[in-house]
Amino acid sequence: MGSGRPLVSYVLPVFREEENIDLLHERLSAALETVDVDTELIFVNDGSTDDSLARLIALSERDERVVVVDLARNVGHQLAVTAGLDKADGDAVVIMDADLQDPPEVSVDLIREWQNGWDVVYAQRRTRQDGLFKRATAALFYRLLGTVSEIEIPRDTGDFRLIDRAVVEQLRQYGERSRFLRGMISDVGFRQKAVRFDRDARHAGETG
């Protein structure tokens, strides 16, 4: 900090990702060398029962950008991300999974679009590496969502996205404990832009 460069916070929820943390950090660090911003990497340990917390602490000892938030118990992905958002100081925040399904290289493309003036830059899947079951349940999910909700949520998007500080502030106005971040972010408006990407398979471990 103090360099005059914008600060981008990453919020990375972690539930049993011991085999993914170091590779994620390595790929993200390499990708970030191609963009002119400072970063803080907020890893939210969501009650992992494996070695994730120890790996994160070790990482924070050798990289001052790394911040570890250790939740007292498993609260689930959406609330883990919310805890990270509360901690984030950045001019923009990138929300990204820690299992390498969201390619770190794409997160830098999101930052570039933010530098072009967009407030919300969401990553939209071109393809799906998931199995048939996940694809079918996801398709059903989007259909049901379309019928019960008045909020337009872009298809084939997850929570992988960048939001400007102004959007983070808006989200803080929502007091809900039960949260659906994608819907809330779509709902707040602002200038929104899609970046298409190919979602990878989880690097290691199991879906939580």
Minimum distance between the CB of residue 107 and Mg ion, rounded to whole angstroms?
Answer: 15
164 near Mg ion, judged by CB under 5 A: no
Q: Candidates 20, 101, 170, 186: give the one binding Mg ion (CB under 5 A).
A: 101
Q: Which helix (H) or strand (E) holds 56?
A: helix 52-62
Whose CB is nearest to ligand UDP? 208
Q: Residue 44's closest CA among 182, 191, 208, 188? A: 208
Q: Residue 205's closest CA among 21, 11, 12? A: 21
Among residues 104 and 119, whose Cβ is nearest to ligand UDP?
104
Residue 116 to residues 12, 69, 193: CA-CA distances in angstroms? Answer: 24, 31, 10
Minimum distance between the CB of residue 5 and ligand UDP, rounded to whole angstroms?
Answer: 27
Among residues 98 and 121, whose Cβ is nearest to ligand UDP?
98
DSSP string, 93-135: EEE--SSSSS-HHHHHHHHHHHHTT-SEEEEEEEE--S-HHHH
14 near ligand UDP, judged by CB under 6 A: yes
Minimum distance between the CB of residue 115 and ligand UDP, rounded to whole angstroms?
Answer: 26
Q: Which two tokens stand for residue 145?
A: 């969502």
Q: Candidates 25, 55, 77, 182: give the one binding ligand UDP (CB under 6 A).
A: 77
Q: Residue 52's closest CA among 29, 28, 68? A: 68
Residues of this chain that bind Mg ion (CB under 5 A): 99, 101, 202
Residues of this chain that bind ligand UDP (CB under 6 A): 13-15, 17, 46, 74, 76-77, 80, 97-99, 101, 202, 207-208
